[in-house]
Every structure is written in structure tokens, then in C-alpha cells.
Amino acid sequence: MVTRRSLLGAALATTGAGLFTGAALTPLLAAGGARAAGAAPAAPAVEPFRVPLPLPPVLAPLSTSGGTDTYAITLRRTRKEILPGLQTEVLTYNGHFPGPTIRARSGRPVVVRHRNALDMPASVHLHGASVPPESDGAPMDTFAPGTTRTYTYPNRQPHASLWYHDHAHHMESEHVYRGLSGSYLLTDGTEQALPLPSGAYDIPIALRDARFDEAGQLVYVMDDALGRTTLLANGKPYPYLEVAARKYRFRLLNSSNLRFFRLRLADGGEITQIGSDGGLLPRPHTTDALWLSPAERADVVIDFSRYPVGTKLVLENTVGPGTPEQTGHVLRFDVVRTASDPSRVPSVLRTLPPLPAATGARTVELRMDEDGGAAPKGYIDGKVYDPDRVDTVVRHGSSEIWTITNPNTVMPHNFHLHLVQFRVLERNGQAPDPSESGLKDTVRLLPGETVKVQATFDTYRGTYVYHCHLLDHSAMGMMAQLRIN
């Protein structure tokens, strides 16, 4: 009998050191250390790099009149070929897995009419967006099967790679796992003035994991970090992407419920990170590896001109759980042709407004039962989510420093605040890495870590949630409410 405790330990036990430096952060999330004990993978083994990376379709508006783009989406159950030769039942926006991409522009509102053709309530949240509370897709603000709900997104914020996903109380984790997520790419003049790779060379890639049974059906078990060992990119397992020998921009999103990625190119080659959750970084950051915790985004440029045509370059993941064959590779770039390349990554990408003087400070503690009990709960500041309780009240116009800690010893978490793009001031007492120098709405907290962020509440008033974005954890109660008065 495998206890929960040993599962967690196995999931996070380390086999190697030096993946990252910083605080005393053992155990790490190690690759290869965690064969799913007691949960033999039932899914048919998938041969990697056999299917092309699909691109989710860009949704066409129903209307663009009156300065507003209006879209219609139907939430419905359907079947998709995810694993070769098998049909998997999924929950979708408009029949796509993942959902269609919405392209929006700052200053131009978007209205999305969602019709719920599922057999359960839904709520649609636009992650990372500054929206009034009635359009935020709050956990209790659901719409019933057979009904329609209209969300209005003012887009009064700078460019950012956002995403939309289900947020129905206690069901969000299963709904998102079964397919309810999609990209929402908000652009503006600042971004468009830059000579970055664009058009066919600007590709959104949503990465996630999944567990399949022998019939190819998705298996959802709460907190099943060890079972979900098939990786999907834009809904397909370990795809390949044919690229030209030039620069590409990839908008990476981790849409997993629990999995952290630590991504690198197999040859250790350079990745230029140009953006994070809330749009472009002030300056590009060159690295050979990047973290992506659930819901985080990384906007990167890879220059394939340094590779001869014929090169096959694997994008690897160096943290578990999962064996290297299961989760050590994500997708493969196949360099198939040369191409001219007028694009460039400028040394200055944007100017962020200076941080205002802080008007207050608070602490937030993220914790989950790690003691092996049958029905573990998640807590923020010792409390399980209660939709009837407001946990934090802030004054409109204030700018606060929040010190967030994860005192758990094996369980990684992260922290997501609705409505606000915040700044990371410190990670474990040190200045953050340049990858966290931009605007963020989600920040990782490995076991034992402490992160200090500054958030300014100067847009909408009302009640919003903040939570761990390991969605199985928020469904276990790791969520709280903030009211901006």
C-alpha cells in the first residue's frame, strides 16, 4: 500500500543537485526519481515526435461593431484524438482542445457570450486580466447548464499573454484538466512597435500533463501528481514542430493542474526570455533553462539559425514526477529549411512604471496537509476557502507588499492573485532572477520558499480570489478572498 506521504516524497524526491540555486530547497522536483508506485501507467505508451504540433484556431468575432469585439463560445463535451487511434472524451470551448485563441487589443473591449452545453455549472475566468468583479468568473459566480453568460473584458491594461479557464467552485481543477482552457493574447502599440518574430513565427504553446487509461480516456484523481505522466503540447502528446532556421517567438503557458516544468533545449542552447505573465520584460534575459509553474507564462525567442537544416532539437523538461521517457521530453523542433529573418530582439523591450511607495504590508502562508491523511486540505493562513468569508480587505489605491511563504517540506505551491499584475521584489531574501523582472500574476513557491511581491490595487473595487494555482490544491481549499474597498 502506497501512502500519500510516500507518494509526495517520491514525487518530489531528488536525484540530482544543482538544478537551481537559492534557499535550502530540498527536496527538489526531480526527474527520473518518481516512477508511479502502485499506479502503473495504464495508458498505451506514446512514441514521441510522431505528430505535428497543432495550433489552436484563432476565434473569429461575431461582430466588431461599436468599437467592441463580440465572440460566442459554447462549452461542450466532445471526443478528440489525443493519443494515436483513440478517441478521448474532453470538455471544450467550441469543440477545441485546448480552446480557441482570442486575440485582443488594449483599449478595445471584448465581449464573450458563453453558452453552457455541459451538464454542470461553469464559470469562465480570464487569468491575468484586470476586469470588474462581475466579469471575473469567480468560483461561486457560475452559470447553469443550458444558460448563457456574457463576460465583458475592458482590456484597459497593457499587452499580455493571458489565458481563460474554468473556475467553478470545487470543479475548476477537473474542468480545466478535461480541457476547459484557452489562450487570450492581448497586444498593444508598445508590443507591436517591436521587431520581434511575428505572424507565423509567433506561436502559442500550452504545455500540460495528463493521465490516460487503456482506452485513452482521461483519468482525473484529485492530487494525482504521479499518475499524470503523459505530456501534451497544444493538446497532442510530444509533438514535433517544423521550423525554419531563423528566430521564433513561443508563448509558453503551463496549463497543468499540478506539474512544474523546468525547460531547456537538449543541447543546452540559448533561450531568450522576452516576457512573462504580464507581457514583455523590461529587457531580454538569456538563459539555458526556465521554470514554469502552473498558470505561469514565459514568452521566449529561440534562434534556430545557429542550427544546420536537418537538426532535430528536443525541448526537455528536467523536473519530475515521471521517468525521463515519460516527462523528460516535451516536444521537438525540426529545422527543415532556411529563411530570411527581419526580426530582432531589441535590448530594451518596455519601460515599466516605477513602483509606488508601499502603503502597507502583509504575510500570506500557503500550506497543505502533508501528513498522509485520506482527504488532505489546503490552507491559506490556516484557513480553508469559504466563499462567505472575506479574508483580506485593502483600500482602493493602496500598494501593498505581500510576503508569501510555503512552509511545506515536500509540496511546491504557487500564488496567484486575480485582477492585479504584481512585481516580484524578492525571492528568499534576494533580488529575483531577471525572469521575474516583469509583471507577474502567478509566482512559484518551491518547498520552503518565501517570495515578496508588491501589488497595487488601483483599478476595480470588489471581491476577488487569490489562491494556489495548483488547481487540485485550490479545489482542496487553498484559496482566499480579497476585498478592495
Residues that bind ligand C2O (CB under 6 A): 125, 127, 165, 167, 295, 416, 418, 465, 467, 469
Part of the chain binding Cu ion (CB under 5 A), chosen from 109-117, 283-291, 325-333, 461-469: 461-469
Q: Which does 413 bind (CB under 5 to 8 A by kind): Cu ion, ligand C2O, none?
A: Cu ion
Nearer to ligand C2O, 136 or 316 (CB): 136
Cis amide leading into 27 (omega within 30) = yes
Q: In whole angstroms, give the CA distance from residue 411 to residue 179.
A: 25
Part of the chain binding Cu ion (CB under 5 A), chosen from 174-182, 218-226, 247-255, 418-426: 418-426
Instruction: State the minimum distance, in angstroms, from the CB of residue 165 to ligand C2O.
Output: 6
Q: What is the DSSP letter of 304?
A: G
Q: Which does 247 bind (CB under 5 to 8 A by kind): ligand C2O, Cu ion, none?
A: none
Q: Which does 473 bind (CB under 5 to 8 A by kind): ligand C2O, Cu ion, none?
A: Cu ion
User: Nearest to residue 275, comparing CAs of 256, 252, 302, 303?
Assistant: 252
Nearer to Cu ion, 127 or 228 (CB): 127
- The neighbour count for residue 240, using CB atoms within 10 Å, is 19
Nearer to ligand C2O, 283 or 383 (CB): 383
The 10 Å CB-count burial string (b at 16+, else e) for 165-177 is bbbbbebbbbbbb
* Residue 297 sits in the site that holds Cu ion (CB under 5 A): no
Q: Which does 259 bind (CB under 5 to 8 A by kind): ligand C2O, Cu ion, none?
A: none
Per the DSSP assignment, residues forming a β-bridge with 104 are: 186
Q: Which does 350 bind (CB under 5 to 8 A by kind): Cu ion, ligand C2O, none?
A: none
Instruction: State the minimum distance, in angstroms, from the CB of residue 52 to ligand C2O.
Output: 28
Coil, helix or strand at residue 66: helix
CB 253 within 8 A of CB 346: no
Q: Which of 114, 165, 350, 413 binds Cu ion (CB under 5 A)?
A: 413
In degrees and rounded to multiples of 5, residue 251 shows phi and psi of -100, 100
* Residue 178 sits in the site that holds Cu ion (CB under 5 A): no
Q: In whole angstroms, give the CA distance from residue 248 to residue 358.
A: 39
Contact pattern from residue 104 through residue 143 relative to Cu ion, giving x for each residue in contact according to CB under 5 A and a dash for the rest:
-----------------------x----------------
Take residue 93 and report the three cell numbers written for it: 470551448
Instruction: State the minimum distance, in angstroms, from the CB of residue 208 to Cu ion.
Output: 16
Consecutive H or E run containing 173: helix 172-177
Nearer to Cu ion, 304 or 415 (CB): 415
Q: What is the DSSP letter of 178?
A: T
Nearer to ligand C2O, 441 or 449 (CB): 441
CA-atom Rg of the chain in angstroms: 21
Q: How far is CA 125 from CA 128, 152, 418, in A?
A: 9, 11, 9
Q: Which does 122 bind (CB under 5 to 8 A by kind): ligand C2O, Cu ion, none?
A: none
Q: In whole angstroms, give the CA distance from residue 195 to residue 198.
A: 8
Q: Which of 290, 424, 468, 482 binds Cu ion (CB under 5 A)?
A: 468
* Residue 418 sits in the site that holds Cu ion (CB under 5 A): yes
Instruction: State the minimum distance, in angstroms, from the CB of residue 229 to ligand C2O.
Output: 23
Instruction: State the minimum distance, in angstroms, from the CB of residue 2 to ligand C2O.
Output: 30
Q: Which does 165 bind (CB under 5 to 8 A by kind): ligand C2O, Cu ion, none?
A: ligand C2O
Instruction: State the minimum distance, in angstroms, from the CB of residue 168 to ligand C2O.
Output: 11
Distance, C-alpha 116 to centroid of its chain: 24
Q: Which does 297 bind (CB under 5 to 8 A by kind): Cu ion, ligand C2O, none?
A: none
Listed in order, strand segments (DSSP E) in 308-441 are 312-317, 329-338, 360-368, 378-380, 392-394, 399-405, 413-417, 422-427, 439-440
Closest residue (Cβ) to ligand C2O? 127
In degrees and rounded to multiples of 5, residue 194 shows phi and psi of -85, 150
Nearer to Cu ion, 235 or 294 (CB): 294
User: Nearest to residue 334, comparing CAs of 270, 263, 253, 238?
Assistant: 238
* Residue 96 sits in the site that holds Cu ion (CB under 5 A): no
Q: In whole angstroms, give the CA distance from residue 470 to residue 479.
A: 11
Nearer to Cu ion, 262 or 418 (CB): 418
CB 413 within 8 A of CB 364: no
CB 240 within 8 A of CB 332: yes
* Residue 473 sits in the site that holds Cu ion (CB under 5 A): yes
How many residues lie near Cu ion (CB under 5 A)?
6
Per the DSSP assignment, residues forming a β-bridge with 315 are: 265, 331
Q: Which does 465 bind (CB under 5 to 8 A by kind): ligand C2O, Cu ion, none?
A: ligand C2O
Judged by the rule CB under 5 A, the positions of this chain that interact with Cu ion are 127, 413, 418, 468, 470, 473
